[in-house]
Structure 1
Amino acid sequence: MSDGTRSERTHDDLPSGRTAVVIGGGLAGITAALALADAGVHVTLLEGRPRLGGLAFSFQRGDLTVDNGQHVYLRCCTAYRWFLDRIEGAALAPLQDRLDVPVLDLAKPEGRRLGRLRRDPLPVPLHLGRSLAAYPHLSLAERVRVGRAALALKGLDLADPSLDTQDFGSWLAAHGQSARAVEALWDLVGVATLNAVAGDASLGLAAMVFKTGLLSGPGAADIGWAHVPLGELHDRLARKALDSAGVRTEVRTRVTSVSTNKNGTWGVQVPGETLTADAVVLAVAQREAYDLLPAGALDAPQNLLEIGTAPILNVHVVYDRTVLTKPFFAALGSPVQWVFDRTQASGLRSGQYLALSQSAAQDEIDTPVADLRERYLPELERLLPGARGAGVRDFFVTRERTATFAPTPGVGRLRPGARTKASGLYLAGAWTATGWPATMESAVRSGVSAADAALCTLGRPRPRHLFEFEEAA
């Protein structure tokens, strides 16, 4: 159902066949539900919020349609690209033809300076060679050392568990990276993808990001983002795809318990109803999964509580005129990290709407709006001459205090796989053991893994199209 009303239909009313309940309507849950339904399983998707999309959603603020935060993906994110195709939304979130990131630096004595990170149509690692050689935010010696570190990073074995015990910052220092190089390159990319500075990030996850995103193929790091509100993709189009697949979708429906029945099936309790299913996928945050897991489902369920979280702060500014002529840029020498033009996507008819994405925002996540306004508006004027003298029509913030799991050293041993020790019960979520940091890609991959495990147990064939992204990787 797509209108949020309760249905009296239960699995008992469906034709005979295997049944599953997916708990959680974020990207992981939507993916798992679609995959199971495509294999002929009768699926009910339950979501406590009034919408789908999890932590990648939109809301209304007056005439604006606002994303809670700026979400991007890369060409190497083959699972999320499959997801976009599956919901018929790929054209609404296109990729760059070629990686091109403007980087504004305010730290130099000579003032504001523009550099670019972009690729050439050459094989790895030559595809970034010219860009790195001309990158003005590092000295020649720093650029040479960056190249050497990149080659060393490329040689790391991602399957080596010892990488997870080390922090990325120490590894960079040991490989000759200056504080400036970390700020102007490694953290420029790493903070946005890992939601942590290098010193707080697992070497294993950081190596995965840089090896996959920058060193796996010439176009791997090309950036894509939604040119429409996220709700158009992750709610409206996702619901349409779920409806077409025959999934029963219930929003505003909070699951209170999950338990086994004597006949080997599962009971999922919601207010006023108990659903019976052959398989259950828990596609919720790690704390909620811990609360719902039956005894014995995991060897060390307390590990879920040890997976930390990291916040993201988003600052939203609406100007009375255009102040930025590029779709986005990154900043150095400023508290500003990444700035995106969201004017067209939001439905704004005049002026310009900019969204500032501030990752690893532990120091600012609870800062009052007035203080953030005093901090960021002058910074935008320093970065964007067009903002000087422009009228500010609106200034507001969105805060995701638990936006991602914290990618700290040692987190890898805490992340569980899709299977539990309880037959028929599976886990999904960006925080599970996907090998990726907490991204939309990780969420979709987790949904695929959970569905694959469930289908194996249910004796259902894997839908071939579901695994096409693995072939494209």
Structure 2
Amino acid sequence: MTAHGAAAAQPHAVVVGGGLAGVTAALRLADSGLRVTLVENRPRLGGLAFSFRRGELSVDNGQHVYLRCCTAYRWFLDRVDGARLAPLQDRLDVPVLDVADPRRPRLGHLRRTALPVPLHLAGSLAGYPHLSLAERAAVGRAALALGRLDPADPALDTLDFATWLGRHGQSRRAIEALWDLVGVATLNATADHASLGLAAMVFKTGLLSAPGAADIGWARVPLGDLHDTLTRKALDCAGVRTELRTRASAVIRTEEGRWNVTAGTLSLDADTVVLAVPQRETHALLPEGTLDQPDRLLDIGTAPILNIHVVYDRKVLRRPFFAALGSPIQWVFDRTDASGLAQGQYLALSQSAAHDEIDASVTALRERYLPELERLLPAAHGAEVRDFFVTRERTATFAPTPGVGRLRPAARTRASGLYLAGSWTATGWPATMEGAVRSGISAAAAALTDLGRPHEHPLKEAA
């Protein structure tokens, strides 16, 4: 066969979207021998987990973490040679500071031991100072009941998590100090606005599947180093053609039964197309008849995340991170080293489910959050604030509301050769980096199967 004939026989895949879902799909397809073109409207890769420059700082648009149970994202880090730059804790340890009573601020910890599930958290729960003895016992009973649920049961998706917690004896304080402490950060919703199915998946997988499942990892470098720089290098090495600043505007079926993607000035013929963009953008690109009920995509709501960035002239926090109770502040991370700040300390506040404040002025946010930081961190009293700024992701995640499960589409569409990816698709996970990577893996696997191309699933649980 001539070189031209070999090229012609090599299937061509076009991936629309350069977030974690899209780059994962592109890498998996290229690794299996396809010729791949990836188009992304932004000037960078990484989607909603990215970095930018602000003076001397490298700033993440938001604080992103993952857990040891996030096997897909861990695979992704390995694939782009970035695992060493986003290490995991040796053992789960979450400092939780309660300042509801300013006269008696209390620090507690959510820690695990090496004991088997569920004993690995028993000691931490028994000594958790933010709940009464009766509340701790009730939490233990609810956790055991949660472990008996099947997150894939469609009936669970119709219920809200708060109602289930109430039926299992959880006080308002227990929901605030434990269930929402974890749930808001992972689901981007409070218990009363979260699907029981998704909540059960988070807690069962993270806390009840293995002793180390909830150990936390986060990037010790700017996210752009992982999701853009290293990812672009991996794509280049895999032979993927990457076109940035290129918006896809049309996807049509050709007379020959293949696909054509119009992206910027490009007209790309393809055997396989993966749409890895948000649900509304996907809806606009979908050819007629490719989903049974395409308008369902428009019913998948979104939820915002607000990130507040504060640079002090000196060190005010000695821990890498902590969570807060009795304060509007949710989680605080030290981003000094990762940002490249030479002097002082840079703290990032991550505020999930921030519907009430996502459009608040910087002045109003400064007036609210700086005093709160001083309340949480006595060392901040008298410290000079050298910079205060805000990043807002108004559509950071899909809203995990009851009933969302029936709206999330599978990777395959009704049209041969057209696939969907994105954390909002039917991964079984909430809108996390893990869910995004899983969706890209699933879309690529479906495409490769339909093309008859041999491939192995990269995740251990699929083996």
Give me the TM-score of the superposition, normalised by structure 1: 0.96
Name the amino acid aligned to 1:266: W
Residue number in structure 2 paired with 1:470: 461
State the shift of 1:109 in Å: 6.2
Residue number in structure 2 paired with 1:81: 74
Name the amino acid aligned to 1:245: A
Instruction: State the SS of the aligned residue for 2:459.
Output: helix
Q: Is the 8 A contact 1:79 1:469 kept in 2?
A: no
Unaligned runs of 5+ in 1: 1-10
Q: Deviations over 1:217-243 (max 9, x none)?
A: 000000000000000000000000000
> RMSD value over aligned CA atoms?
1.2
Q: Is the 8 A contact 1:196 1:407 kept in 2?
A: yes
Q: Deviations over 1:180-208 (max 9, x none)?
A: 00000000000000000000000000000
Residue number in structure 2 paired with 1:295: 288
Deviates more, 1:244-253 or 1:264-273: 264-273
- The answer to whether the aligner puts 1:404 opposite 2:394 as a matched pair is no
12, 17, 31: which one pairs with 2:10?
17
Residue number in structure 2 paired with 1:285: 278
- The answer to whether the aligner puts 1:357 opposite 2:354 as a matched pair is no
Give me the TM-score of the superposition, normalised by structure 2: 0.98
Separation in 1, partners of 2:152, 2:245: 40
State the shift of 1:12 in Å: 10
Q: 1:12 to 1:386 in 2, by over 3 A?
A: farther
Residue number in structure 2 paired with 1:61: 54
- Pairing of 1:195-344 with structure 2 (within 5 A): 195-344=188-337
Q: Deviations over 1:12-32 (max 9, x none)?
A: 995631110000000000000
Residue number in structure 2 paired with 1:174: 167
Name the amino acid aligned to 1:283: A
Separation in 2, partners of 1:250, 1:428: 18
- The answer to whether the aligner puts 1:143 opposite 2:136 as a matched pair is yes
Instruction: State the SS of the aligned residue for 2:248.
Output: coil
Q: 1:351 to 1:208 in 2, by over 3 A?
A: same
State the shift of 1:459 in Å: 1.4
State the shift of 1:418 in Å: 0.1
Separation in 2, partners of 1:394, 1:79: 36
Q: Is the 8 A contact 1:82 1:469 kept in 2?
A: no
Q: 1:435 to 1:12 in 2, by over 3 A?
A: farther
State the shift of 1:309 in Å: 0.1
Name the amino acid aligned to 1:299: D
Q: Is the 8 A contact 1:79 1:470 kept in 2?
A: no
Q: Deviations over 1:67-118 (max 9, x none)?
A: 0000000000000000000000000000000000000001136421100000
Instruction: State the SS of the aligned residue for 1:467.
Output: coil
Name the amino acid aligned to 1:40: G
Instruction: State the SS of the aligned residue for 1:401.
Output: strand
31, 34, 42: which one pairs with 2:35?
42
Separation in 2, partners of 1:35, 1:240: 15
State the shift of 1:379 in Å: 0.3
Residue number in structure 2 paired with 1:422: 415
Q: Is the 8 A contact 2:152 2:428 kept in 1?
A: no
5, 11, 26: which one pairs with 2:19?
26
Q: Deviations over 1:382-436 (max 9, x none)?
A: 0001101100000000000000000000000000000000110000000000000
Q: Deviations over 1:302-352 (max 9, x none)?
A: 000000000000000000000000000000000000000000000000000
Separation in 2, partners of 1:16, 1:386: 66
Q: 1:29 to 1:12 in 2, by over 3 A?
A: farther
Q: Is the 8 A contact 1:25 1:52 kept in 2?
A: yes
Q: Deviations over 1:161-190 (max 9, x none)?
A: 100000000000110000000000000000
Instruction: State the SS of the aligned residue for 2:429.
Output: coil
State the shift of 1:273 in Å: 2.4
Separation in 2, partners of 1:158, 1:376: 37
Q: 1:469 to 1:63 in 2, by over 3 A?
A: farther
Q: Is the 8 A contact 1:415 1:431 kept in 2?
A: yes
State the shift of 1:471 in Å: 5.0
- The answer to whether the aligner puts 1:129 opposite 2:122 as a matched pair is yes
Q: Is the 8 A contact 1:205 1:436 kept in 2?
A: yes
Separation in 2, partners of 1:163, 1:441: 21
Q: Is the 8 A contact 1:311 1:362 kept in 2?
A: yes
Identity %: 75
- The answer to whether the aligner puts 1:102 opposite 2:92 as a matched pair is no
Q: Is the 8 A contact 1:132 1:143 kept in 2?
A: yes
Separation in 2, partners of 1:200, 1:390: 38
377, 385, 388: which one pairs with 2:370?
377
Q: 1:109 to 1:342 in 2, by over 3 A?
A: closer
Separation in 1, partners of 2:322, 2:104: 17
Name the amino acid aligned to 2:351: Q
Separation in 1, partners of 2:164, 2:18: 38
Separation in 1, partners of 2:45, 2:151: 33
